[in-house]
Structure 1
Amino acid sequence: MRTTSLVQLAALAALSSVSTAALACPDLAMVPGGLVVQVTDGDTVVLDDGRVVRMIGTQAPKLPLGREGYESWPLAPEAKLALETILLNKPVQLGYGGERVDRYDRQLAHVFVDSADGPAWAQQAMVAQGLARVYSFPDNRQCLDLLFAAEGRARLSGLGIWRDPYYSVRAADVPGELLARAGHYELVEGRILLAEERGGRIYLNFGRFWKQDFTAVIEAPARRLFVAAGIDPMVLDGALVRIRGWVDDRDGPRIEITHPEQLEVLAIR
């Protein structure tokens, strides 16, 4: 009972602090959503008309949800409970900033709930209490600066997932540990040793042995997004960066960067 109470109080406190988010992120197409009748997990809800909404821009700890052999991520029940406190049985508005429907026919939207101070942003409330992290796509990139700011505060304060080693920011110069996280979504920090272009791709190398060390790869479509954003990854030699994405194992651990928001420059040199 005590854990439940603390999670609910944290959710309500986070919600009260983001009631002006709708004004701060004006580039969304807002539409009525309806009533939230079910919370599936910490980033997915069901509306009274049957639509499933995947709360775009965030990733909460995952529950098995009937998947055989799938282990619950740490703090997944707490994330679900927090989102229930924020949204369950409440009318919401949906804000669209990119692709609106995914291949599973889920709505891809930012979710706002009415509060005493105006519309409050559910995604930011979850990130602010450390029960979700920023998770973006090349076709859905609106409002991310606000979410990154909330995530940074939660991480520095050690809230929620940020006090659990499962979600620790990984070191780029320990490739063995990164290989052990292949198939996982990770935040990785390190200094880029060399940025180079080969075969139309940009490779951000974090070590001298490219078949063993961590590498971030920017394919041609992603590079066009970098150009449109006025960012040149080729000038990042020596920069301290944080990269987020799914770790795979191709000649050592690597992450494919599909859009600029996956790459945060922390220091140039």
Structure 2
Amino acid sequence: MVRSLFYGFAALFAILAGPVLAQDRVAGERGEVVDVTASGGLIVVTDGGERLNVRIAGIRQPDEGEPLHAEANDALRRLAAGQDVALSYEGELRRDRYERAVAFVAFPGGRDLATSLVTEGWAMVYTTPEARSGAANLLALEQAARDAGLGLWADPAYGVRSADPNTLALYLDSVQIVEGRVISVGETRDRIYLNFGFDYRSDFTVSIAVGDTDGFLDAGIDLADMQDRIVRVRGWLHRRNGPMIVIDHPERLEIVGP
């Protein structure tokens, strides 16, 4: 790509306040996408010549072996391969344990890669504590894509699951989106539990560390007031007594009904 395209990035960054981008994102490396990875990432050669493995912040695409992996990877390649990009970061985390850059990715003019993938239905919103800005907009785009049956959402493998523990038992040890009514809220010294049935030993439960509750309150979510609310939660579904998802920040919990 012609390097003059980066004048567009300079103009974009000049509009935003100083070195800090919209929603407290900090400007990072710039470069060209020379390849995409099978895990839904990018290989970016930076202006400084570094070959950088990038994990796109705020979303998740199918892993190898999961349904529609090839189609989602093709969409990523179509959108990103050969493009000049600007990376930005939220918070302190710049690299994950695999030394991948955990970054938001923008094209010249400011178009956001995660937004494009979610809009087309080829990515699920999947925030982390250090990469969650813009989640509300992405969740709305995901819902529109799901309603239209676009991309991943055309396959039942990516459906929103009911909180029925017998159904969820089929999907243990995978990332899932689960929706249901909170029957009760329990608390121990260390954790808050949202119970979706009358027997915590077998029913679906959402677990939150007490130390994370302030973040939910800051987002206007009082976990103690969740009884009888219909909520949607996303995360790694595992077995602890019954099926359980552990969450640690409010963007993983949507209140969808009274």
Scaled by the length of structure 1, what TM-score is found? 0.83
Q: Which residue of 2 aligns with 1:201?
A: 191
- Matched letter for residue 75 of structure 1: L
Q: Which residue of 2 aligns with 1:138?
A: 129
Q: Which residue of 1 aligns with 2:97?
A: 103
- Matched letter for residue 124 of structure 2: R
Partners in 1 of 2:173 and 2:214 — Cα distance? 26
Pick the aligned partner of 1:157 from 148, 169, 180: 148
SS of equivalent to 1:51: strand
Contact residue 47 and residue 53 of structure 1 kept, 8 A: yes
Pick the aligned partner of 1:169 from 157, 160, 170: 160
Deviations 1:54-112 (A, max 9, x none): 0010000112xxxxxxxx11111111111111111111000211321111111010111
Is 2:217 the counterpart of 1:227? Answer: yes
Q: CA deviation at 1:25?
A: 4.5
Contact residue 61 and residue 74 of structure 1 kept, 8 A: yes
- Matched letter for residue 106 of structure 2: F
Identity %: 38
Partners in 2 of 1:223 and 1:258 — Cα distance? 8
Contact residue 191 and residue 207 of structure 2 kept, 8 A: yes
SS of equivalent to 1:119: coil
Give 5+ residue unaligned stretches, structure 2: 1-11
- Matched letter for residue 126 of structure 2: Y
Q: Which residue of 2 aligns with 1:69?
A: none
SS of equivalent to 2:256: strand
Pick the aligned partner of 1:76 from 69, 79, 95: 69
- Matched letter for residue 30 of structure 1: A
Partners in 2 of 1:112 and 1:42 — Cα distance? 19
Partners in 1 of 2:54 and 2:196 — Cα distance? 38
SS of equivalent to 1:41: coil
Q: CA deviation at 1:42?
A: 6.3
Contact residue 241 and residue 265 of structure 1 kept, 8 A: yes
Greater relative contact order, per chain length (Cα 8 Å cut-off, separation 6+): 1
**1:1-269, aligned counterparts within 5 Å?**
25-41=22-38, 43-48=40-45, 49-63=50-64, 72-98=65-91, 99-114=93-108, 118-172=109-163, 174-268=164-258
Q: Which residue of 2 aligns with 1:67?
A: none
SS of equivalent to 1:266: strand
Contact residue 33 and residue 85 of structure 2 kept, 8 A: yes
Give 5+ residue unaligned stretches, structure 1: 1-19, 64-71
Partners in 1 of 2:211 and 2:107 — Cα distance? 36
SS of equivalent to 2:82: coil
Q: CA deviation at 1:262?
A: 0.9
Contact residue 30 and residue 86 of structure 2 kept, 8 A: yes
SS of equivalent to 1:45: strand
Partners in 2 of 1:224 and 1:101 — Cα distance? 26
Q: CA deviation at 1:163?
A: 1.4
Aligned alpha-carbon RMSD (Å): 1.8
Scaled by the length of structure 2, what TM-score is found? 0.86
SS of equivalent to 1:123: helix
